Amino acid sequence: MKFTKAYIYGFGKWINFEISFSDGICIYGENESGKSTIYHFILFMLFGLPPKQREFYRPKSGGQIGGRLTIADEEVGIFTIERLDSLRNGAASCYTPDGMEYDEDWLKKRLKGTTLETYQSIFSFSAMDLNKITNMKESDLGEVLLGIGLTGSTEIHHLEKKLDNKLAELFKPYGKKPMINRQLDTLDKQFASLQGYKKNETTYREKKMNESQLEDRLCELKNELQEEKIKLLNIEKNIQALPLIGEYIRYQSNLEKYGQNLDFPEHGETRIENIKSNLLPLQSELAVLKGNAKKYQEKLERLQNKLANQKLYEAAQTLVKLKHEFLDNKKELERTENIIDSKKMEIEMELNRLNVDLHFEHLYKMNFPFHIEQTWLQIKRDEGNVALEKERIQAEVQQLKQERNYLYNQLEELEEQILPDEKVFELNEKINRFHKHHAVRNLQNEAAQKQQNWAKRREKKEKDMNVLFISCLVIGVIFSMIGLFTDIRILLDISFLLLLFGVGQWMWGRKSLKEMEIVIQSDFESDTFHTLSKDDLQDAEIQISDHHKRVSEMENIKEQLKSNDMKRLNFRDKMKVVEDRYANIQQQIKEQYQFYPFLKHIDISYWPELFHALKQLVSQFKEYMKVLEDKEILLEKVIRFQSEVNEFVKEQNWETGDLIEQQLKAIESFIRKQQEISQQIEQYTDLLKENSKEQDELLLRIGTYESEIRNLLELAQVESEESFYQKANQVNEIKQNEEALDNTYAQLERLFPNSQWKSFVEKAQSESELEWMRNDTANTIEDLQQKIAKTQKELVTIQAQLETMESSEEYSNNLHQFEMEQEQLNKLAREWAIIKTAKELLSETKRTYKEKHLYQVMEATSYYFSRLTGYKYKSVYAPMDHRSFQVEANNGLRYEVNELSKGTIDQLYVSLRLAIGKTMSESNHLPFILDDAFLHFDSLRIKQVINLLEEISKTYQVILFTCRKEITLDMDQMETISLKATAFK
């Protein structure tokens, strides 16, 4: 943007003045030549002026204020601004060559928001501005420089201070005096008191509860008092009514005794009496009948007792029936017994006749099988045979034995004889002796024979002796027996003689036998050792010659011995056989003995005869046994019957004696009696039947009356007549009691209406108890009254407090007051907040602005400063923190601003302003206007500035106002306009 020309209608001293501007122009004029007016005119054209300021520029000669300024703009081309003081209050009109007209706003758009202030601060400066710097404290210089640089004035700084002051007036975080702080204190106080009031009010709830509790309590107490009073009254009344109540209780307890079951028929007593008068005769009649019946019954019972039971009776009858049979049996028995006796006699006689060791008792066991006869016969024969055989063998053996003994003797003799030759003589003698011996032996044999014969004889003799002895004995015994039985003395004597004879002959025989034996044996012994005769010696030679013969004889004898031994063995065997047979037979005999011991006394040879005798005996015995059996049966029958009868009688305990006939008689009489009793029973039974019939009739009649009575009892709900009468009495008593009770009731009811007295009755207290209770209640009443008074007092206090609280508006007032003070605070706070925000905004903007432009500005400043100082300095550094501007000299030394000379500071300032202008103009090409900015510069520096400005003017329009001639002289490229100070005068 460039100003091309200006036309002033009237502005200050200029009227109808026109001026043209080239790109770089220096307007020279002395003081008071109107340079500044032109400057202000331009500003007026661009930005307008308030009326007052406009008025300042009203030309003294009159005429209107206003003018035109033509501008060449890069965007819209050439246009002209026109302002007239009289027109639209000095608002601008803009005209474009195409004839369009625009208003102030359009202009502002063209100026891109540049205001007067910004324009002045950026694009125009004067010596005055430089002077301001000197006013500043040196230390502030850097800040001031920047501030001027950014806003074009020191306004920002002022503003900041102003804002700070305002803020401080309003609020300091730790202050006391600022308005907000004071307001806060006020609020704190109010808040505290408000809290106090609030707290106080919150006790309202508590107090209210307390009040209601107290009220409740009071109400309770009053109720209690009322109750106690009633109680006292009641107690007093109770005491008064005590006698009556006593009565009442008595009657009531009486009544209670009777209980609930009090149903009773109307006129029950008389009714029952009537019935009973009718009933009594009937009952007595019945009693008579019953008495009879009883008697009959008793009789009957007695009879029936007498009447044995049917079984007994039948048993008796059976016994009687059996009586005849019994008598028959008895007779038969007697007969049988006779038979038995005779039979027994016969048998015994037979036994006696046999006279074997067999008695009647043995016969019971006696038994003869069919073969026994044959057996016995056989035994008899065998025994005989064996005995014979045995004897024969024994004889043979005896003979052999003797032979042998002889042979041995011979042998021994021979052996002795054949002794050594020296003793041949002796042998010879022996031979002789032998001959003698031989004769002796013969004698001996003879003696032996004699002995044998003797033995046989002795045996025979012994046997005969024995037989005689036994026979004497038996006969003696028999005779003595008979004698004993028959008392015949002679028989006894005979038997004694017989015995004596038997024993005497036996003893004699024995003695003679022994004497004979001794004779025989002594004969033999006297002959055995017979000394040799003299012949032996003669025979010695013969015997020596016979020596060999003897040896051969020895041989011969040995031979004979052998055969003897053989024979003996043979016989021994035979003997053994015979002995076996004998033993066999003996065995058989023994067996027979066993079965029939009596045989022992009987020689076997008589056995067959015995058998026949015994057989007959046995058959007789059998008959006897048979009869015996019959007798036993009969006897059993008789005894059975007797025992039956006896038992029967014993059972009945009849004193009849043991005789059966008596017993039977007793039984028969018993049967008869029984029959009589039966008849009587029948008779009484009939009587009883009749009696009961009569009774039934009577009972029927009685029954109707009794049912009548029962009905009455039922109605009375009693069991018996007795209780009926009792009940009747009770009913009467109850009636009386009830009347008395009603009476008392009425009296009590008069004293205590609505049955109040009933509670007294229930409690039933004594007078002293009641008296005590009265005192107690009186005390309680006093207590309660005290409590009530106390509670009422408390209640009144709390109610007063509540009243005060309710009527108090302190909290409410304070609340409102507080609210207002708070509002006031908020209002102040808001004010503060706005100012604070403005201040913050300003600072923030400053900071941002600095940051944004500082580099460019400092670059340009360095350049311009370097140029202006003739390259003495090479660069400028922006202030940092508390440090102000620094400049760097060519030699590399750095200087603080306050270290520089006044002139250099001015140079720095100009450089800074130009730099800022240049920087700002890059987007906003407004011309520079400098109003005598270099007043204090020396010529050299002016030259330098001029050079610089000329250089700048190639890019931006530069308008320089000056009053110094030398400046114009320095101009090479810039146009110079001289204003004549006198031109207007």
Partner 1 sequence: MKEISFIHAADLHLDSPFKGLAHTPNHIFQEIVESTFVSLDRLVAVAIQKEVDFVLIVGDLFDNEKQSLKAQIQLRKAFEELKRHNIEVYLSYGNHDFINGNLHPVTYPDNVHIFENVTVSHFTYKKRNEALANIYGFSYENRAVTDEKAKEFKVINHDIPFHIATLHGSIQSNTDHDVYAPFQLSELQKEPFDYWGLGHIHKREVLKENPFVVYPGNIQGRNRKETGQKGCYHVVLSETDSVLTFIPLNTITFQPVQVDLTNCENLHQAERLIQETINNDRQIAGKTLIDLSLTGDFVLKQWENAKQIEELIEIINQMISQDQQWKYIFHFTTNIKRKNLDAELKKGEHFIGEVIRQAEKMDLQKSIQDLYLHKQARRYLHSVSLEDQQVMKEEAKELLLNELLKG
Pick out residues in 160-189 that bind partner 1 (CB under 8 A).
162, 171, 173, 180, 184, 187-188
Residues 690-719 that bind partner 1 (CB under 8 A): none
Shortest reach from residue 71's CB to partner 1, in Å: 17
* C-beta closer to partner 1: residue 766 or 923: 923
Question: Is residue 819 a contact point for partner 1 (CB under 8 A)?
Answer: yes
One residue of 151, 417, 428, 911 binding partner 1 per CB under 8 A: 151
Residues 207-226 that bind partner 1 (CB under 8 A): 208
Classify residue 85 by its DSSP letter. Answer: S
Question: Is residue 4 a contact point for partner 1 (CB under 8 A)?
Answer: no
* C-beta closer to partner 1: residue 464 or 809: 809
Stretch that binds partner 1, among 136-144, 604-612, 647-655, 803-811 (CB under 8 A): 803-811
Strand partners, 975: 25
Residues 863-922 that bind partner 1 (CB under 8 A): 920, 922
Question: Is residue 552 a contact point for partner 1 (CB under 8 A)?
Answer: no
Q: State the alpha helices, DSSP H only, in 717-756.
A: 721-751
One residue of 692, 824, 947, 968 binding partner 1 per CB under 8 A: 824
Distance of CA 507 to the CA centre of its chain: 118
Question: Is residue 460 a contact point for partner 1 (CB under 8 A)?
Answer: no
Question: Is residue 55 a contact point for partner 1 (CB under 8 A)?
Answer: no
One residue of 93, 153, 543, 691 binding partner 1 per CB under 8 A: 153
User: Cα-Cα-Cα-Cα dihedral of 445, 446, 451, 453, to 10°?
Assistant: 120
Shortest reach from residue 146's CB to partner 1, in Å: 12
Classify residue 755 by its DSSP letter. Answer: G
Shortest reach from residue 833's CB to partner 1, in Å: 4
The pair phi, psi for residue 94, each rounded to 5°, is -120, 135
Shortest reach from residue 192's CB to partner 1, in Å: 12
Question: Is residue 155 a contact point for partner 1 (CB under 8 A)?
Answer: yes
One residue of 825, 900, 935, 977 binding partner 1 per CB under 8 A: 825
- Interhelix angle 424-486/372-417, rounded to 10 degrees, is 150
Stretch that binds partner 1, among 413-421, 593-601, 775-783, 807-815 (CB under 8 A): 807-815
Question: Is residue 195 a contact point for partner 1 (CB under 8 A)?
Answer: no
Nearest Cα neighbor of 918 from 909, 927, 931 is 927
Classify residue 532 by its DSSP letter. Answer: P
Other residues' Cβ atoms within 10 Å of the Cβ of residue 456: 11
Question: Is residue 928 a contact point for partner 1 (CB under 8 A)?
Answer: no
Question: Is residue 478 a contact point for partner 1 (CB under 8 A)?
Answer: no
Q: State the alpha helices, DSSP H only, in 310-423.
A: 310-321, 323-354, 360-365, 372-417
111 Cβ contact partners less than 8 Å away, ≥ 6 residues apart: 46, 47, 119, 926
Distance, in Å, from the CA atom of 721 to the CA atom of 687, rounded to the nearest integer, reads: 35
Written as six digits, the tokens of 894 are 């750095």
Question: Is residue 374 a contact point for partner 1 (CB under 8 A)?
Answer: no
* C-beta closer to partner 1: residue 200 or 726: 200
Amino acid at 187: L
Question: Is residue 860 a contact point for partner 1 (CB under 8 A)?
Answer: no
Nearest Cα neighbor of 880 from 858, 904, 902 is 858
One residue of 811, 865, 909, 928 binding partner 1 per CB under 8 A: 811
Question: Is residue 812 a contact point for partner 1 (CB under 8 A)?
Answer: yes
Q: How far is CA 386 from CA 389, 455, 605, in A?
A: 5, 20, 14
Written as six digits, the tokens of 286 are 């019945």
Question: Is residue 663 a contact point for partner 1 (CB under 8 A)?
Answer: no
Which residue's structure tokens are 């891109």? 112
Distance of CA 426 to the CA centre of its chain: 137
One residue of 16, 732, 826, 955 binding partner 1 per CB under 8 A: 826
Stretch that binds partner 1, among 14-22, 213-221, 666-674, 816-824 (CB under 8 A): 816-824
Residues 762-781 that bind partner 1 (CB under 8 A): none
Sign of CA dihedral 748, 750, 755, 756: negative
One residue of 320, 815, 854, 900 binding partner 1 per CB under 8 A: 815
* C-beta closer to partner 1: residue 212 or 355: 212
* C-beta closer to partner 1: residue 120 or 428: 120
Contacts of range 421-424, beta carbons closer than 8 Å, 24 or more positions apart: 424/540, 424/543, 424/544, 424/547
Strand partners, 960: 26, 930
Shortest reach from residue 154's CB to partner 1, in Å: 10
Question: Is residue 105 a contact point for partner 1 (CB under 8 A)?
Answer: yes
869 Cβ contact partners less than 8 Å away, ≥ 6 residues apart: 904, 907, 944
Shortest reach from residue 131's CB to partner 1, in Å: 17
Written as six digits, the tokens of 583 are 């033993």
Question: Is residue 790 a contact point for partner 1 (CB under 8 A)?
Answer: no
Question: Is residue 88 a contact point for partner 1 (CB under 8 A)?
Answer: no
Which residue's structure tokens are 């015979």? 578
Distance, in Å, from the CA atom of 625 to the CA atom of 629, rounded to the nearest integer, reads: 6
Shortest reach from residue 819's CB to partner 1, in Å: 3
Stretch that binds partner 1, among 683-691, 714-722, 800-808, 939-947 (CB under 8 A): 800-808
Nearest Cα neighbor of 606 from 598, 618, 617 is 598
Written as six digits, the tokens of 953 are 């003017």
Question: Is residue 150 a contact point for partner 1 (CB under 8 A)?
Answer: yes
Amino acid at 949: L
* C-beta closer to partner 1: residue 559 or 844: 844
Q: Site map for partner 1, 325-344, x if CB under 8 A? A: --------------------
Q: What does 534-560 look like in DSSP terms, one character per residue?
A: THHHHHHHHHHHHHHHHHHHHHHHHHH
Stretch that binds partner 1, among 453-461, 707-715, 804-812, 942-950 (CB under 8 A): 804-812
Q: Site map for partner 1, 829-858, x if CB under 8 A? A: xx-xxxxxxxxxxx-xxx-xx--xx-----
* C-beta closer to partner 1: residue 253 or 848: 848
Nearest Cα neighbor of 326 from 740, 782, 637 is 637
> Does residue 448 contact residue 525 with C-beta atoms inside 8 Å?
no
Sign of CA dihedral 135, 137, 143, 146: positive
Specify the length of the chain in residues: 985
Question: Is residue 682 a contact point for partner 1 (CB under 8 A)?
Answer: no
* C-beta closer to partner 1: residue 167 or 585: 167
* C-beta closer to partner 1: residue 81 or 741: 81
Distance, in Å, from the CA atom of 360 to the CA atom of 345, rounded to the nearest integer, reads: 10
* C-beta closer to partner 1: residue 115 or 538: 115
> Does residue 69 contact residue 17 with C-beta atoms inside 8 Å?
no
Strand partners, 79: 71
One residue of 743, 822, 875, 978 binding partner 1 per CB under 8 A: 822
Stretch that binds partner 1, among 81-89, 638-646, 824-832, 879-887 (CB under 8 A): 824-832
* C-beta closer to partner 1: residue 852 or 883: 852
* C-beta closer to partner 1: residue 18 or 206: 206
Helix (H) or strand (E) holding 961: strand 958-962
Residues 108-127 that bind partner 1 (CB under 8 A): 108-109, 112-118, 121-122
Shortest reach from residue 799's CB to partner 1, in Å: 14
Question: Is residue 813 a contact point for partner 1 (CB under 8 A)?
Answer: yes
Distance, in Å, from the CA atom of 164 to the CA atom of 842, rounded to the nearest integer, reads: 11
Residues 941-980 that bind partner 1 (CB under 8 A): none
Number of residues that bind partner 1 (CB under 8 A): 75
The pair phi, psi for residue 757, each rounded to 5°, is -65, -15
